[in-house]
A and B are shown apart, each in its own frame.
Chain A
C-alpha cells in the first residue's frame, strides 16, 4: 500500500478514516503522517478511525492506533476509535493491552456523537 492510499473523508469539522488493511511497518508511518497533515490543512477538530474491517489487532497495530491519537491530541484534535470487533477487544485485553487513554465508540454514528459532545464543551 502506498502513501495516501487510505482515504480520509471530511464530515463537518471531523475527519473519518476507515482502516481496511493491515497497518504494518511500511504503511503505519505514512498513515500517521497523512492524517496529521490533513488535520492541519482542514482544521479538523475531531478524528474518527474506523477499524471494523480489521480482524486482527496485534500489539504493534494497537500501538500505531494509540500513538496516532496521541499525536492528533498534541495538535488539539480529539480521536475516537470505532468499530472494534468483539474478538479483537477480547484478544487485546487477554494480552494485557487495554488501550488505556484511547477513546472508543461502538460505531461511526456513536463516535460522531462523542465528538459532537466534546465540541460543545
Chain B
C-alpha cells in the first residue's frame, strides 16, 4: 500500500461542491509537478466521479490524498456515497450506458484517464470509487 502523505476530505452535495473538489485536485496536481496532460486527465476524472455521486446518490464524500509508493508520487481520489449502488458494474464500466441521461462516460471515461481504478459497489449500501494517477516527469 502506498504511503499517504496528506489527506483532504470534502462533502459533495451540490454542483458547487463538484467544482470546488476538482479545483482542489487541479491545484494539488499542479503543485506536485503533474504535467498539463496528467493534470487535465485527473481533474476531469475528479469531475466525472464527483458528478456521479451528485447525480446517483445526491450526496457523498470526496477524498483527495497525496500518496507515495516508494518509487513514485501520485494523487489518489476516493469518492464514496451511500446511494443506490450499481446493479450491473460490468455494464456501467463498459461505457455508453447511462442510468441518469448523461453520456454514460462517467465511469468508463474516468477509468481510461487514470493509472489505477477500483470500484466497490453494493446495491442498497453505496459505492466507493478509488483512482490513482502517478506524476510523470
Contact = CB atoms under 8 A, between A and B. Distances in A.
Interface of A: 22, 24-26, 55-60, 62-63, 85-88, 90-91, 94-97
Contacts, number: 73
Interface of B: 15-16, 18-19, 22, 26, 36-37, 39-41, 43-44, 47-48, 51, 95-96, 102-103, 105-106, 108-110, 112-113
A90 B42 CA distance: 12
Main secondary structure of the interface of A (DSSP, over half): helix
Given A91-B113, A96-B112, 12 more contacts: A24-B15, A25-B15, A26-B15, A56-B47, A58-B48, A58-B51, A59-B103, A91-B44, A95-B48, A95-B110, A96-B105, A97-B105
A88 B15 contact: no
B66 to A, nearest CB: 20
A95 B37 contact: no
